[in-house]
Amino acid sequence: MTKTINESTAAAMLQAADNILLLAHQYPDGDTLGSNFALCRALQALGKTVRVCCGDPIPDKYNYLYQDVPQPDFSPDFVCAVDVADVKLLGDALAKQYGDKIDLCIDHHGTNTGYAAYTCVDSTCGAAAMVVYRIIGLLGVELSPAIAQCIYTGIATDTGCFKYSNAGALAHRIAADCIEVGIPYEMINRVNFDTKSRARIELERMALDRMRFYHQGRVAVMAITNAMVEESQAGENDLEGLPPIPRQIEGVWVGITLRQKADGNYKISVRTGTHADAAKICAVLGGGGHERAAGCTTQGALEDATATILSAVEQVVPRIVTG
């Protein structure tokens, strides 16, 4: 059973610790990396021995977050996971090695499973980097440009560059604090939001070619098959951020993305506007999620998967057919 603590207590625990191992989640994103490396830099500024560990390789585009951060080898006396909602999200190897030895977890997920000895969660924050920002302040470490660009990256990437509902006033105020110390925020945003590989462009082109509409354009279905991924030479990173695309089309109530898995079956992502509940649609097929974004899996070929999810949509949102 974890003990819930506030940011002051978390800062005091870190202040008292040394030889600190920080853990990021697998498939690392801008928030888990930004918040971990911001904290790493701050603790190193206090003279502590610290490094960040991630179960997956870090994509090259995040090099600017940590290229000048020493990552010493040592036997940790204190283990702290940042932006990791569930111990499973560390990945198998790290979960096995450290899963039952995590002293502190700093997070912003309301769904945090409480796997650490002490947990400091603020689910009103749009990014873990916002929680870390306050803890760094409590540690008395000055907000350097290097720390600020890690914090800004965490906030910008988790809020879709301030687009989503989690980009509240505090997210903007902390971003402003970071900008004021002098960070290359335009470069950060270009790298994270305005750069696509040629493989990704090719994959999007193929996906748009094969987009199908149903029920007077209220349902849009986009399929990503293994053949398309192979033909476009898209890597795992190129497949991120596809599910919002069908929903962005004007008049679409339900946007569906079908992504073929290695076993040939399809993983389904559902995105909805105010007219339909994505979680209810996916629940029909044993899946789950949120009102506006949910997921499930199906068995069978593309035609079967499409028919199955369309039938779930029609069942949950009958108005989509008749209305």
Q: Which residues bind its own copies (CB under 8 A)?
A: 156, 161-165, 167-170, 172-173, 175-177, 179-180, 185-186, 189-190, 193-198, 201, 204-205, 208-209, 211, 213, 217, 244, 247-251
Q: Which is nearer to its own copies, 250 or 263 (CB)?
A: 250
Nearer to its own copies, 76 or 126 (CB): 126
**How would DSSP label each residue in 69-120?**
--------SEEEEES-SSGGGG-HHHHHHHTT---EEEE--TT----SSEEE
Closest CA to 195 of 226, 164, 157: 157
Residue 73 or 194 with smaller CB distance to its own copies: 194
Closest to its own copies by CB, 77 or 180: 180
User: Which residues are 82's β-sheet partners?
Assistant: 106
Work out the burial of residue 292: count CB atoms within 10 Å of its CB; fewer than 13 is exposed, 13-18 middle, 19 or more buried: middle
Give, in order, the Cα–Cα distances in Å from 276 to each of 71, 97, 291, 293.
Answer: 48, 43, 8, 10
CB-wise, 180 or 240, nearer to its own copies? 180
Nearer Cβ to its own copies (92/231) = 231
Shortest separation between residue 228's beta carbon and its own copies, angstroms: 14
Nearest to 157 by CA among 58, 81, 26, 62: 62
Q: C-beta of 193: minimal distance to its own copies in Å?
A: 6
CA distance between the termini of the chain: 50
Residue 143 per-residue DSSP state: -
Which residue, 126 or 287, has its beta carbon nearer to its own copies?
Answer: 126
Q: Dihedrals φ, ψ of 48, to 5°? A: -85, 160
Contact between 108 and 126 under an 8 Å Cβ cutoff? The reply is yes
- Shortest CB 233 distance to its own copies, Å: 13
Instruction: Please identify, using beta-carbon distances, which residue of 119 and 257 lies nearer to its own copies.
Output: 257
- Least Å distance, CB 266 to its own copies, is 22
Measure the CA–CA gap between 135 and 251, rounded to whole angstroms: 44
CB of residue 204 to its own copies, shortest distance in Å:
7
Alpha carbons 163 and 10: distance in angstroms, whole number? 30
Q: Are 8 and 65 in contact (CB under 8 A)?
A: no
Write down the least CB distance from residue 191 to its own copies, Å.
10
DSSP code at position 279: H
- To its own copies, the closest distance from the beta carbon of 92 in angstroms equals 31
Least separation in angstroms between residue 164's CB and its own copies is 6
What span, in angstroms and rounded, lies between the C-alpha atoms of 39 and 4?
Answer: 20
